[in-house]
Chain A
Amino acid sequence: DAGITQSPRHKVTETGTPVTLRCHQTENHRYMYWYRQDPGHGLRLIHYSYGVKDTDKGEVSDGYSVSRSKTEDFLLTLESATSSQTSVYFCAISDPILAESTDTQYFGPGTRLTVL
């Protein structure tokens, strides 16, 4: 398995509170991604990063922000959590140059977030 960890693995919070999820990789991959997984929707891209301090929006970015100050860490922040953000969040990494497998994304174990 690719060296990807996510923390916390489970979190319950209340509406209106800020939440930060962390993705940490040991593979030195340049690209990192945040997805959310919801029944009937598959995985949808929230934000992604193509290098330190370089980030861009995905399909469902409203209500989320990200930061990447180091190659190995990619943080996802919900500034004011809402019940619609209850989901399972997955981090993924890829590197078209480093990896032999161009464009393949490798996924972390996920964080289950419940917003009450």
Chain B
Amino acid sequence: AQSVTQLGSHVSVSEGALVLLRCNYSSSVPPYLFWYVQYPNQGLQLLLKYTTGATLVKGINGFEAEFKKSETSFHLTKPSAHMSDAAEYFCAVSGAGANSKLTFGKGITLSVRP
């Protein structure tokens, strides 16, 4: 069994400020972890993922996330927010293997203030 918790539904930051979106997971097997971004009226786009190896993962648009097994966390960060980062962000977990399903968190909406 697996699950994802994204606390809160909305985060607001000022342009240029640090972005921190939290994700905690539960998994009975070694997890694969993903962050997706969804811009208004669009599909989901992969930001970054962790499968194995280096625990600090860099993604597109300056985002990165760190897998912390001891904390069962995979928080998403960006040093300096840009207006174009305003979107909904989803954390997701799966196991390894072709038939493993992807389980999503409920999503967090990021607003960026000028």
Q: Most A CB atoms within 10 A — which of B34, B42, B46, B96?
A: B46
- Residues in A87-116 with C-beta less than 8 Å from chain B: 90, 92, 96-97, 101-110
Residues of chain A contacted by B44 (CB below 8 angstroms): 43, 90, 92, 107
Q: Most B CB atoms within 10 A — which of A33, A43, A102?
A: A43
Q: Which chain A residue lies CB-closest to B99?
A: A50
Residues of chain B contacted by A105 (CB below 8 angstroms): 102
A74 CB within 8 Å of chain B? no
Contact yes or no, B43 A103, CB < 8 A: no
Instruction: From the candidates B4, B34, B98, name the one contacting A50 in the complex (CB within 8 A).
Output: B98
Q: Which chain A residue lies CB-closest to B51?
A: A102
Contact yes or no, B46 A104, CB < 8 A: yes
In the complex, A45 Cα to B103 Cα: how many Å?
8
B113 CB within 8 Å of chain A? no
In the complex, A100 Cα to B100 Cα: how many Å?
17
- Residues in B1-18 with C-beta less than 8 Å from chain A: 4, 9
Question: Which residues of A come within 8 Å of B, CB atoms?
Answer: 4, 31, 33, 40-45, 48, 50, 58, 90, 92, 96-97, 101-110
Question: Which residues of B come within 8 Å of A, CB atoms?
Answer: 4, 9, 32, 34, 36, 41-46, 49, 51, 90, 94, 96-102, 104-107
16 other contacts beyond A31-B98, A102-B96, with CB at 8 A cut-off?
A: A33-B102, A42-B104, A42-B106, A43-B90, A43-B104, A50-B98, A96-B97, A97-B98, A103-B51, A103-B94, A103-B100, A103-B102, A104-B34, A105-B102, A107-B44, A108-B43
